[in-house]
Amino acid sequence: MKAKTCRVIVNQAHCFATGGFFNNGLPFSLSMGCGSWGGNSIDGNLNWEHFVNKVRVVKTIKENKPELIEVFGDFWKETSK
């Protein structure tokens, strides 16, 4: 089966899984986004965090840039690149 999906609900009541519940870690919500393929800007539960403006203050740090072979080496070996 192929399906564009942003979540799969396993052995849970749909109303709790979609709206969030204490036993699944999803935020409580009455609205659900279906991702960019559904024309939405979010792919999860719309909740209070989407309405909070965040300010990030950053400073430069010593660069730690890995070589591509370090990141993708095992994948390239498996796919014979």
pLDDT in tens, the chain (81 residues): 787 777 777 888 777 667 778 888 877 777 777 788 788 888 877 888 888 998 989 999 999 999 999 999 999 998 875
pLDDT of residue 53: 92
Question: Is residue 4 a part of any domain in this protein?
Answer: no
Q: How many residues does the chain have?
A: 81
Question: Is residue 21 a part of any domain in this protein?
Answer: yes
> Which of the 8 DSSP states describes residue 12?
S
Question: Is residue 2 a part of any domain in this protein?
Answer: no
Q: Are 33 and 49 in contact (CB under 8 A)?
A: no
Which domain covers residue 60, as residue numbers? 14-78
Rounded to whole angstroms, how far apart are CA atoms 50 and 63? 31
User: Considering its fold, how many domains does the chain have in total?
Assistant: 1
Question: Is residue 24 a part of any domain in this protein?
Answer: yes
Place of tokens 């991702």: 35
pLDDT of residue 74: 92
pTM of the model: 0.43
Question: Is residue 63 a part of any domain in this protein?
Answer: yes
pLDDT of residue 24: 81
Question: Is residue 9 a part of any domain in this protein?
Answer: no
Question: Is residue 23 a part of any domain in this protein?
Answer: yes
